Amino acid sequence: GAGVSQSPRYKVAKRGQDVALRCDPISGHVSLFWYQQALGQGPEFLTYFQNEAQLDKSGLPSDRFFAERPEGSVSTLKIQRTQQEDSAVYLCASSLQASSDTQYFGPGTRLTVL
């Protein structure tokens, strides 16, 4: 079956531009996570949704980062006024139930801020 998909796969933005990154989780998966992965590092947690409710946003680095999942399926991560330090791969993961531990990751969106 289809896995987690993300778009775009690559995004180049000029400093100060706003960007929107999309995640399509596996159909029927209740939980959705966003992670940020810098070059040569492991992924770092950003935020977590259970259906449409955002239950943990403790990892969002600043108020320029905003995530939503209005209908409990597709999610969008928005970054306003991008800065060079925002350059990273943004990964989305989903799991079947809130209590399910196995997270399945998408291919990621590589964001480069010039």
Partner 1 sequence: EDQVTQSPEALRLQEGESSSLNCSYTVSGLRGLFWYRQDPGKGPEFLFTLYSAGEEKEKERLKATLTKKESFLHITAPKPEDSATYLCAVGILTGGGNKLTFGTGTQLKVEL
**In one letter, which amino acid is 37?**
Q
- Per-residue binding string, partner 1, 28-47, x by CB under 8 A, is ---x-x-x----xxxxxx--
3-class secondary structure, 64? coil
- Binding segment for partner 1 (CB under 8 A), chosen from 14-22, 69-77, 78-86, 91-99, is 91-99
* Rounded-to-integer distance, Cα 49 and Cα 69, Å: 7
Residue 55 binds partner 1 (CB under 8 A): yes
- Binding segment for partner 1 (CB under 8 A), chosen from 60-68, 70-78, 80-88, 104-112, is 104-112
Residue 65 binds partner 1 (CB under 8 A): no
